[in-house]
Structures are given as C-alpha cells and as structure tokens.
C-alpha cells in the first residue's frame, strides 16, 4: 500500500495527491519509430520569458530499485550520481544523476550540503530518480513506464558516436531492447530498457559533435496535444526551439534550455533537449488528453523541473499563461516550491536556484 501513496518525490511533502482520470483517444504514431526527415532549424527571441532566468534542470522518473537503476545509468551509460536527498520520515529518497564532461572528476559526496549547493545551481539537466522504500522487495510491483494507449511520456535518450558498439556493450551486460540498431525501418537507432522498463533511446551523434564521452544524456520525450500552446509555454520558460521535423501524421519539436546557443544543432549538443511529439489532429479534439504520469495506475514519469532566481516572481509570470498549478509556492507545508501545469497538464517543478531546506537527512 505504501508505494501507492508515496510516489511524488519532493511533491509528497506538499501536494494534494488526488488524481484526475481522463478518457482519451489512442494516438501512438511515435511509438512505432517512423523515419525522421525534414529538419528545420529555428532561432527564438529572448523576449517574453518569465522572470528569474529559468533553466531546465531535471526530469523525474520513479524507480523500484535504486541499486539496479543507479548501476545501469552510471556503469553502462556514463552518468554521475551528483546528489541524493533522503527522507526516512516519509520513506523515500531522491537520486540525481547527470552527464559530466569526460575527465571532469566529481569530488562531492552525494547527500551533503555541498552536493545540494551544486545540484541546485547547475546549468545542466539532471535525471531525478525517486525511490519509495520497500518497492525493491515487492516482486509484484512495477511502475508504469509509458508508451501505452493515451500515455504522454515516451522516453529519455543518450547520444553516442557508435550506436552499434554501444548496443553491443549493453547487450553483453544483460540489457533487453525494445529495438536493436538493425531492427525495424530505422537502422542505426536503438531503444534499450532500463531496469524499470523505461525506454532509453540510443542515438548517433553528428560527426561534428566532438564529444569525448561514450554517452551523454540527450533528451526527454513528451507527447503534446497542441504544439502551438506547448511551444508558447516552454518558450516562456526560456527554452529555445532548435529543430522541427514534420511528417505526414506527426511532428517533432526539439527545445533546448535557455543556456544553449540559439543556433545549436540537436545532435551536436552535450545538453539534453526536450522533444515534444505531436500526433496530427489531437489539437482539434476537445476531449483529447494524454496521461501525464501522475494518475493512479499510471505513475512512472513524474515531472520536469526548472531553476529560477525567485519562485514567487516566476510563478506570477507562469500564472498569466492560465494553465494553473498543482501546487502554488505557498501551498502545502513546503513553502517556496511550486508545481505548475503545462498545457497538457504535465507537472513542471519550479525550484529556487541555490535550493532551500527540504527537510532531508543530510550526510555529515
């Protein structure tokens, strides 16, 4: 029972966890790995951004067994565990991993105040893994990893120079695949399952990338109903539309955080991008909604998050967009932390740059 109520990461401290069930029409085009062509590059204006210098800072996934998940991401995909927040009083822990430049040594101890200070000031994007105590001992327990009918969350991804070599390494380590590089219509692209069954896309970098890392954290994919509304929202959050790819029945939009150059090419980037997938026609269906990963029976993906200089001023700017909040900055017991809603109802965490006292048990 405990794993049903303690699955919201930091939001457990402060959010009403009521779930809204939605009835939607299946729209799964993106799941079948269509050929991707027709790249268009765009520059974005830096005007009309919410106050506080927003930067994309995290993608949160709920996990069953942190030992297995952390080993997968660090030992096989080259992530570094940069911090953890332990909440024994609420029986859950948060683990934050990211890709650091090759050769950069991370000497801070996760769980210390020094590691917290680093985490809440990074310009990069971390993968937040949320573990609710006891799930690892429940043989029947699993999270909903997306890619079923009506699901919004699709996958995360890593870029690499050689998809075939990387896939061979993962296969030798015992990993299972949704798609190996030579399967399906799209050759040279793979989808490997992480220990919880989340899809991790393995993508070839561009020849011009010149990134020495074997892998780098490269994307989070969400399906959206109306790209005009979603793009306007995330541009207000400081994100930059770097590429569009249009096909007969779906389109892909790739957004970089505010810290990347306007003319960056997606496959050259060390930083991750947010991939928004639009299946054509959903914007015209009034009743259409995606599951966002926080509904009962659908919990897996939790949210993305942004750092800002002032949560209250940032939320004033977000409030003007009219999509509402799961948690206002002064809602609940955790003051100064917010969860906004984007046009599809995805939760968007708003955290003060530099962090705040979350009440975790720190490592001394």
Extract the tokens encoding 126.
């971390």
Q: What is the Cα–Cα distance from 304 to 152, expressed in whole angstroms? A: 13
Residue 328 annotated among the catalytic residues of the structure: no
Report pTM.
0.90
Do residues 160 and 170 lie in contact, with contact meaning Cβ atoms separated by under 8 Å?
A: no
Burial zone of 237 (CB within 10 Å; 0-12 exposed, 13-18 middle, 19+ buried): buried
69 in helix, strand or coil? helix
The closest of 226, 237, 213 to 277, measured between CA atoms, is: 226
Q: What is the Cα–Cα distance from 348 to 325, expressed in whole angstroms? A: 9
Q: Which regions of the chain does DSSP assign to beta strands (E)? A: 39-41, 55-63, 80-87, 92-98, 126-132, 153-160, 177-179, 190-193, 199-204, 216-224, 240-246, 250-256, 273-279, 301-308, 325-327, 338-341, 347-352
Give 128-149 pLDDT, tens digit per residue.
999 999 999 999 999 999 999 9
Residue with tokens 């096909």: 247
Q: List C-alpha distances in Å: 47 to 124, 236, 239, 315.
A: 22, 9, 11, 17
Give 156-188 pLDDT, tens digit per residue.
999 999 999 999 999 999 999 999 999 999 999
Give 44-59 pLDDT, tens digit per residue.
455 699 999 999 999 9
The predicted model gives 315-320 an average pLDDT of 97
Residue 288 has pLDDT above 90, yes or no: yes
Q: What is the Cα–Cα distance from 75 to 215, expressed in whole angstroms? A: 11
Active-site annotation holder among 201, 243, 275, 349: 201
The predicted model gives 292-314 an average pLDDT of 98
């Amino acid at each position: 029972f405990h794993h049903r109520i303690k699955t919201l990461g930091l939001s457990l401290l402060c959010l009403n966890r009521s779930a809204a069930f939605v009835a939607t029409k299946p729209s799964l085009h993106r799941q079948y790995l269509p050929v991707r062509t027709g790249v268009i590059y765009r520059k974005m204006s830096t005007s009309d951004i919410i106050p506080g210098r927003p930067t994309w800072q995290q993608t949160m996934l709920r996990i069953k067994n942190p030992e297995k998940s952390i080993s997968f991401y660090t030992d096989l995909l080259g992530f570094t565990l940069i911090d953890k927040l332990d909440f024994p009083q609420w029986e859950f822990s948060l683990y934050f991993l990211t890709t650091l430049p090759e050769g950069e040594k991370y000497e801070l101890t996760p769980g210390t105040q020094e590691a917290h200070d680093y985490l809440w000031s990074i310009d990069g994007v971390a993968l937040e893994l949320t573990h609710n105590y006891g799930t690892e001992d429940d043989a029947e327990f699993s999270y909903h990893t997306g890619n079923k009918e009506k699901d919004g969350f699709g996958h995360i991804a890593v870029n690499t120079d050689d998809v075939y070599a990387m896939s061979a390494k993962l296969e030798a380590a015992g990993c299972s695949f949704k798609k190996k590089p030579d399967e399906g219509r799209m050759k040279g692209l793979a989808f490997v399952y992480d220990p919880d069954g989340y899809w991790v896309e393995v993508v070839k970098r561009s020849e011009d990338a010149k990134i020495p890392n074997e892998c780098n954290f490269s994307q989070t994919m969400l399906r959206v109903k109306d790209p005009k509304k979603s793009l306007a929202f995330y541009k207000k959050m400081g994100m930059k539309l770097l590429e569009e790819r249009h096909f007969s029945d779906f389109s892909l939009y790739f957004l970089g955080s505010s810290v990347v150059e306007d003319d960056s090419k997606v496959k050259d980037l060390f930083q991750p991008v947010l991939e928004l997938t639009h299946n054509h026609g959903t914007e015209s269906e009034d009743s259409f909604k995606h599951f966002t990963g926080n509904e009962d029976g659908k919990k897996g993906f939790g949210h993305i998050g942004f750092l800002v200089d002032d949560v209250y001023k940032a939320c004033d700017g977000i409030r003007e967009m009219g999509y509402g909040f799961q948690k206002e900055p002064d809602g609940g017991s955790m003051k100064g932390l917010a969860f906004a809603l984007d046009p599809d109802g995805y939760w968007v965490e708003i955290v003060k740059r530099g962090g705040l006292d979350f009440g975790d048990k720190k490592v001394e």
